[in-house]
Amino acid sequence: MVGLPARGKTYISYKVSRYLAWLGVNCRVFNVGEYRRKIVGAQLDHSFFDPHNPVAIEQRLKCAVLALNDMFAWFEDVHNGVAIYDATNSTRSRRQMISDECRKHNVEVMFCESWCDDANLVDMNILEVKRTSPDYKGIKDPQMVLDDFRHRIDHYSEVYEPDPTVEEYDERLASYVRKINVGSQVVINRITSYLESRIVYFLMNIHIATRSVLFSRHGESMYNLNQRLGGDPDLSPNGRKYADALPSLISKLLGDQPLTVWTSTLRRTHQTAAGLPCKKMQWKALDELDAGVCEGLTYEDVEREYPEEYAMRDQNKFEFRYRGGESYRDVVLRLEPVIMELERQQNIMVISHQAVLRCIYAYFLDIGPDELPYLKIPLHTVMKLTWTAYGCDIQTYKIDIDAVDTHRAKP
């Protein structure tokens, strides 16, 4: 990563690592700031970052090298993976050193720069992120944080040499991506491998504006009452009560922010969303996992008629594919465009089904394929996802209307 402080580097690092883990690539973030805190301690004021402070410079270099060595050790272990070296790396000489070291260890390097000259965005970032960071623990006054951090940024700016534009030649041979002003412009240079281009593609789609994503299942449906799988039933009376109660909960959560509602193409989700006064879009990709021949049957029926399938499903719920239908793995694959679009958009509410929500949930919270199929997503609950600096925060709001429990625990 390359960029001045408060440009969203760590945020991007963790997001990319989550995306790659979801794709199945070994990924780890090496945050030099963490190393620095361990070695030198937190709670340093901005003078530590002054480029004219020789003691500090040596210590900072030490932290950087330590992180680098740890990274190479990790590569030895995994043989195959992506490491994200999260630091400001603002000078050309530092970047040169990193490239050289990596070449010695047979590691390919791709620089990723986040560039922002909009002062408001930077300030917002500082307040949101740095306020809760361990560097400023105990300091209550946000203004103090802001000032101190601005000084820190100034120190860095003195020596900052951004990746060049087309005209400058020596760093032109490096692979890099540069996001300008949160993605309104992106510069890509010498991206060569498939993995790199996937990462760049992902980077182009994310942004750091604050927004929230809400998830909900459809209201209770007739099939839920009978414990049947799949199908396209209507809502039950309780479900309809939930649909009526939804708009007030949403306006409480979001106020009057603009919201788009995404539903699947099945009836029960439309009926649930009927009361919401927002723009609605239907996605076939959000349809429930296709149970193939088992559509419309209850779990007992399935056990009776397809006993081997029933048993196999319990063995490996993630990979198991219903005859004529899909597996969780298929759902994950077909959700990729939805996830990409979610990353790009502002406020979104997704009204969908249990299996689909499990997959989306797992993506945002970094949950693996073993636990994914057993996540608890109860009916008549709204989950609100907010992005914090280093991950996602989920808050659940249950609406007090009775509903059956459709969760099957791991046998």
Query: Which sequence positions are flagged as catalytic?
Result: 86, 116, 218, 288
Strand order in the sheet with 260-263: 279-282, 260-263, 348-352, 212-217, 381-388, 391-398
* Ligand-binding site membership of 374 (annotated): no
Q: Which residues lie closer than 8 Å to 243 by C-beta, 6 or more apart?
A: 219, 235, 271, 272, 273, 274, 275
Angle between helices 354-365 and 9-23 (to 10 degrees): 130
Return the residue of 1, 16, 246, 285 that touches another protein, per CB under 8 A. 285
* Ligand-binding site membership of 222 (annotated): yes
337 binds another protein per the rule CB under 8 A: yes
Q: Please say which residue, 189 or 251, places its beta carbon nearer to another protein.
A: 189
Site string for another protein, 81-100 (x = CB under 8 A): --------------------
Residue 81 in contact with residue 26, Cβ under 8 Å? yes
Cα–Cα distance between 399 and 262 in angstroms, integer? 20
Residue 146 in contact with residue 193, Cβ under 8 Å? no
Residue 316 in contact with residue 329, Cβ under 8 Å? no
**What are the C-alpha distances in Å from 275 to residues 242, 261, 279?**
10, 11, 11
* Ligand-binding site membership of 408 (annotated): no
* Ligand-binding site membership of 344 (annotated): no
Nearest distance from residue 197's CB to another protein, in Å?
5
66 binds another protein per the rule CB under 8 A: no
Return the residue of 204, 249, 274, 404 that touches another protein, per CB under 8 A. 204
Nearest distance from residue 200's CB to another protein, in Å?
7
* Ligand-binding site membership of 218 (annotated): yes
In DSSP terms, which residues pair with 221 in a beta bridge? 235
Total residues contacting another protein (rule CB under 8 A)? 34
Q: Please say which residue, 216 or 263, places its beta carbon nearer to another protein.
A: 263
Return the residue of 166, 167, 170, 411 that touches another protein, per CB under 8 A. 166
**What are the C-alpha distances in Å from 306 to residues 270, 288, 302, 310, 323?**
32, 21, 5, 6, 10
Q: Please say which residue, 123 or 341, places its beta carbon nearer to another protein.
A: 341
* Ligand-binding site membership of 217 (annotated): yes
DSSP 8-class letter at 133: S
295 binds another protein per the rule CB under 8 A: no
Q: Which residues lie closer than 8 Å to 112 by C-beta, 6 or more apart?
A: 1, 2, 12, 176, 177, 178, 179, 199, 203
* Ligand-binding site membership of 1 (annotated): no
53 binds another protein per the rule CB under 8 A: no
Site string for another protein, 206-245 (x = CB under 8 A): ----------------------------------------
**What are the C-alpha distances in Å from 210 to residues 87, 206, 207, 348, 393?**
23, 12, 9, 12, 13
Return the residue of 283, 320, 328, 363 that touches another protein, per CB under 8 A. 283
* Ligand-binding site membership of 103 (annotated): no
Q: Tokens 């490996």 correspond to what residue?
A: 316
304 binds another protein per the rule CB under 8 A: no
Burial class of residue 198 (count of CB atoms within 10 Å of its CB; 0-12, 13-18, 19+)? middle
CA atoms within 13 A on the CB side of 240: 6
79 binds another protein per the rule CB under 8 A: no
Return the residue of 12, 63, 67, 200 that touches another protein, per CB under 8 A. 200
Nearest distance from residue 243's CB to another protein, in Å?
21
Q: Where does this chain touch another protein (CB under 8 A) — which range of 46-54, 238-246, 331-339, 400-408?
A: 331-339
334 binds another protein per the rule CB under 8 A: yes
Nearest distance from residue 11's CB to another protein, in Å?
19
Query: Which amino acid, 206?
Result: I
Q: Which residues bind another protein (CB under 8 A)?
A: 166, 172, 184-192, 194, 197-198, 200-201, 204-205, 265, 281-285, 308, 323-324, 333-334, 336-337, 340-341, 344
